[in-house]
Chain A
Amino acid sequence: MTLQAVLFYLLAAVSIASAIMVITRRNPVTSALFLVLNFFSLGGLYLTLHAQFIAVIQILVYAGAIMVLFLFVIMLLNLGDSQSLREVISLRKLAGVGLSTAFLLEIIYILGFRVSDFPAGEVTRGLEIGTVEYIGQKLFTDYLFPFEITSILLLAAIVGAVVMAKRKLD
Chain B
Amino acid sequence: MENNYLADLWNSSPIVCVVLTGLVLLLVESVRRGSGRLSYAVSLVGLASAGVLIVAVGDVAQPAFNNMIVQGPYAQFFTVIFLVTGILTILLSRGYLDRQGIHRSEYYLLVVFAISGMMLLAYAMDLIVVFLGIELMSICLYILAGFMRTRGTSMEAALKYFLLGAFATGFLLYGIALIYGSTGTTNLEQIAKSFAEHSASPMFLVGVSFLLVAFAFKVAAVPFHMWAPDVYEGAPTMVTAFMSTGVKAAGFAAFVAVFMRSFQYAGSPVNDVLAAIAAASMIIGNVTALAQVNLKRMLAYSSVAHAGYILVGLAAGNADGFMGILFYLVAYVVVNVGAFGILSLVEDSNGQKLSYDDYAGFSAQRPFLAALMSIFMFSLAGIPPFAGFFGKYYVFLAAVKADMIWLAVLGVLTSLVSVYYYLRLVILMYFREGSGDVAVRPTWAAMLSIGFAAYLVIQFGIFPSIVVDAALKVF
Contacts and interface: CB of A to CB of B under 8 A. Distances in A.
A103 to B, nearest CB: 9
B139 A160 contact: yes
B66 A145 contact: yes
Query: In the complex, which of the residues A122, A145, A164 has the most CB atoms of chain B within 10 Å of its own CB atom?
Result: A145
B104 A170 contact: yes
Interface SS of B by simple majority:
helix
Interface stretch (A4-12, A62-70, A107-115): A107-115
B58 interface: no
B34 A170 contact: yes
B139 A153 contact: yes
B201 A117 contact: yes
Contacts of B146: 164
A150 B132 contact: yes
B1 A141 contact: yes
Interface stretch (B105-113, B384-392, B399-407): B105-113
A141 B65 CA distance: 9
Range, interface on chain B: 35 or more
Interface string A123-157: 00000000000000000011111100110110111
B65 A159 contact: no
A169 interface: yes
A146 B124 CA distance: 10
A14 to B, nearest CB: 24
A149 B182 contact: no
A110 B132 contact: no
B201 A160 contact: no
A149 B120 contact: yes
Contacts, number: 93
Given A149-B129, A149-B132, A164-B143, A110 B202 contact: yes
B183 A157 contact: no
Nearest to B104: A170
B129 A164 contact: no
Contacts of A114: 201-203
Contacts of B139: 153, 156-157, 160
Interface string B100-127: 0000101001100100100010000010
A40 to B, nearest CB: 22
B101 to A, nearest CB: 9
Interface in B423-439: none
Contacts of B3: 141
Contact of A163 (B116, B136, B143): B143
Contacts of B182: 117-118
Contacts of B22: 152, 156
B152 interface: no
A159 B142 contact: no
B19 interface: yes
Contacts of A141: 1, 3, 66
A146 B68 contact: yes
Contact of A159 (B110, B128, B206): B110
B268 interface: no
Interface string B134-171: 01100110110011011000000010000000000000
B445 interface: no
Contact of B26 (A117, A121, A159): A159
Interface in B169-193: 178, 181-184
Contacts of A164: 143, 146, 149, 158
A121 B136 CA distance: 33
Interface in A67-121: 106-107, 109-111, 114, 117-119, 121
Nearest to B204: A117
Given A143-B128, A156-B140, A170-B34, A118 B66 contact: no
Contacts of A106: 206
Contacts of B178: 110
Nearest to B185: A119
B396 to A, nearest CB: 34
B62 to A, nearest CB: 14
18 contacts: A110-B202, A111-B203, A114-B203, A117-B204, A119-B184, A121-B184, A142-B66, A145-B68, A146-B132, A150-B132, A152-B19, A152-B22, A153-B132, A156-B139, A159-B113, A160-B110, A163-B106, A163-B143
What are the 7 tightest A-B residue pairs by CB atom distance, in nearest-first order?
A145-B65, A160-B143, A119-B184, A145-B68, A156-B113, A110-B203, A149-B132
